Structure 1
């Protein structure tokens, strides 16, 4: 397994027409860390993820990944599954789109697809089609598709926002387990302070205009997180403090 990706952002600016979405933002994210980015709508959270992924180009400034050769995956809010493809065929899509992954043998590709589905507990649904799946199962397929290439960085843009509460809790627990197992870097965008506090080691809070960094805080909670933690005094104290900062 290759090492996790580190991220360095220096004097980052991003402008759409006359609107300055990100202005002079600098931060570093350590390899193997789990960082959540929170803030109100329009503060530049999703744009920041897209800049890290190279889906947008900076107006000025720099985003660098180290090591630059390591791979990463992006999980969006919608599962974006192809309805005419089975679960296994959807998960295998990166092998068709990435020229480096195209060189892998078919036997190895099949092995990786099965392994990715096992990680998200969908190994018995590889022949199912998206219309046969619940919303939570579709998001698991999307996560498996992201994991099939063994990414060293996982970028996630509100992936659990549309799920019911029980399914969202299950997905959060599964993501924490995968992060600990895979030792990858995770950058997770969400509007939920409870979700960010439960999941992350570190929370970065942005505000508009210009994605100004108003808080950058390490979360002092155990690395192994259980359901009891969700209603604990420790977690709720952190959420209350974050809520006060967000209102400010």
Structure 2
């Protein structure tokens, strides 16, 4: 659906978090939830972030969008003993005001260690100094860091293990049909073993078919996320 359909009644008051589970496939339980921004219009239709950003850029700062989703997610999970994560952009990571915002929000928050901040792997690798500084801030607030959107067919996987993170998300989209499937799978095996040694959790994302789930089970990866398990929802089951 086009942005034109939401521009008339767009307001950040109508932006809410939707929740997609990350599954512990060894134990068949929800391990944590990723909180994703959705806009709900007056007809109760939902729109994904890519359909929102043009309006956010025009009418608001992206930081305001991050604040809105962080607040909504934190309030939702305040009294629920469940881990959750939220995405921060490169702009968020470089914004000094984000430091004050996060510190203020977490002053009386129960068990901040349940919260993980997801940063795109490309942003972390291309801005290592800024990422390391942000990671230090997150550690001081007892937050975890997850690297997101890693493409194992393009990235040098082992270099990521030197970054100060607790988890890494690996996209398995298209690997099943890749001409280099065997080579990528072997690289992931080595990466998984090295990550285990360092205590870094691996999460396979974009699992849409059983064949992809079978592939990551064979690799030993414990955590997975994707439409095969659940679409993002406005509530948790």
TM-score, normalised to structure 2's length? Answer: 0.37
- By percentage of residues, which structure has more helix? 2
The structure with higher relative contact order (CA 8 Å, sep 6+) is 1
